[in-house]
Amino acid sequence: MSHASPRPLEIAHTGPLAGRLTVPGDKSISHRALMLSALAVGESRIEGLLEGEDVLATAAAMRAMGADIVRGDDGIWTVNGVGVGGLLQPEQALDMGNSGTSTRLLMGLVSSHGITVTFTGDASLSARPMARVIEPLSTMGADITASPGGRLPLMVRGMNPAVPIRYTLPVASAQVKSAILLAGLNTPGITRVIEPVATRDHSERMLAGFGADLTVEETTEGRIISLAGEAELKPQQIVVPGDPSSAAFWVVAASIVPGSDIVVANVGLNPTRAGIFTALRLMGADITEENARTVGGEPVADLRVRHAALSAIEVPADLAPSMIDEYPVLFVAAACATGRTVARGAHELRVKESDRIAAMAAALGAIGVETEEFEDGLAIQGSGGAPLPGGGTIASLLDHRIAMSMTVAGLVSTRSVTIDDVSPVATSYPMFFQTLDELRKQAL
């Protein structure tokens, strides 16, 4: 899965955004739906699956290990699984493209199966550290050989039977937690993960939905998730809600572009993922939840967002786990607020598709926004609602969220903003730019 040819984009302010839109299916839930369906015995159906490159990498990997995965003409995916313990030896290396989620979760999945799997990825993914996953999976018995610095390409030789562990997460990470739990599915005994700081809980919700014996206990140590191994998963009918990370770009755009009024339909509002909307409301954003409901165990609503004057805040550090992927676009909102916004406690941003703290400091600086960089975040001096100067060229660094966030910044810039490469946007949101065009047209 080689990276596409660079696609530069020049974006300029052209007026308000209006209309109703849907966003792609939640990426975190889409990955997990494919993996667990592939481990169930029987046929599962998945509606609303995100069909970006990252999720397609997961689908290809599960096919390579024996699952029958087909997309119907109606957009519904059917998965006939191999059962827990039934993964087959893939004939060649699994190319994860740019997907860190696919890589880390699948490393967990194969660690307790008697197969050997090599993981490769693009240049961006190959620069990302995997040590935090390697350490607990090695403790469970997997033999993992990585490139220098704990990076890809790497090889996982699974251990069957693996050894159950009790593991306290040293850093809040839903991916590490999920990798251990997925390894625990085919491990005899009880695998326990302790979270001192709660992270997104899609894995726990979906594992329970597929019939795994899983319990969650709130203690003074934190959340203790316990999973009984050698599970038998039952096939499911899954409806994937809209991705809050994708919705965040439109929520911020409508908040900062004068005259905007949009509805983002069917947004997943799992409290472990919805921190961005909390932060924006603290800044004064006009976000109303309509038609609140529950879909597949996940809270969902339509979000109506209207332009509002934003004020700077000190972003509560305890929101970080529930909005870690949304900080880049929050920084754009802060650039348009009145006052100096400070966001700390987001160390995880340093090891995403890019170093998102440094990348956003450079990107905002290039369009005339004053920032101060910390090891764990940024301070941003807002424009008080005035247009941003713009005029710079932005390095997206193969990072889809940097590209989309700076596209939003271009919508409120006096001079056009040039982004060197927006092709990575296809990893999570293939229709992003078409949706932007529609929202502009509907406002005319």
- Residue positions annotated with a catalytic role: 325
Angular region, 121: left φ>0, alpha ψ -120 to 50, beta rest: beta
Between CA 302 and CA 287 the distance in angstroms is: 10
Q: Is 166 annotated as a binding residue?
A: no
Q: Is 173 annotated as a binding residue?
A: yes
Q: Is 234 annotated as a binding residue?
A: no
Both structure tokens of 274: 């919805």
The string of DSSP codes covering 324-377 is GGGHHHHHHHHHTSBSEEEE---GGGGGSSS-HHHHHHHHHHHTT--EEEETTE
Ordered strands of the 314-315 beta sheet: 314-315, 340-343, 377-381, 371-374
Q: Is 128 annotated as a binding residue?
A: yes
- Dihedral, CA atoms, 91, 97, 101, 103, nearest 10 degrees? 30
Between CA 268 and CA 294 the distance in angstroms is: 9
Angular region, 378: left φ>0, alpha ψ -120 to 50, beta rest: beta
Count of H helices and E strands in the chain? 13, 25
Between CA 255 and CA 280 the distance in angstroms is: 9
Contact 407, 422 (CB under 8 A): yes
Q: Is 237 annotated as a binding residue?
A: no
Ordered strands of the 77-80 beta sheet: 68-71, 77-80, 43-47, 237-239
Burial class (CB in 10 A: 0-12, 13-18, 19+), 22: middle
Between CA 204 and CA 317 the distance in angstroms is: 24
Q: Is 399 annotated as a binding residue?
A: no
Both structure tokens of 416: 């056009």
Cα four-point dihedral sign 375, 377, 383, 388? positive
Question: Collapsing DSSP states into helix, strand and coil, what is residue 180?
Answer: helix
Radius of gyration of the chain (CA): 21
Q: Is 415 annotated as a binding residue?
A: no
Q: Give the CA distances from residue 372 to residues 85, 360, 367, in Å, rounded to whole numbers and listed in that order.
A: 50, 11, 15
Please enumerate, by residue number, every residue annotated as part of a binding site: 27-28, 32, 100, 128, 173, 175, 325, 352, 356, 401
Please enumerate, by residue number, every residue annotated as part of a binding site for 3-phosphoshikimate: 27-28, 32, 173, 175, 325, 352
Please enumerate, by residue number, every residue annotated as part of a binding site for phosphoenolpyruvate: 27, 100, 128, 175, 356, 401
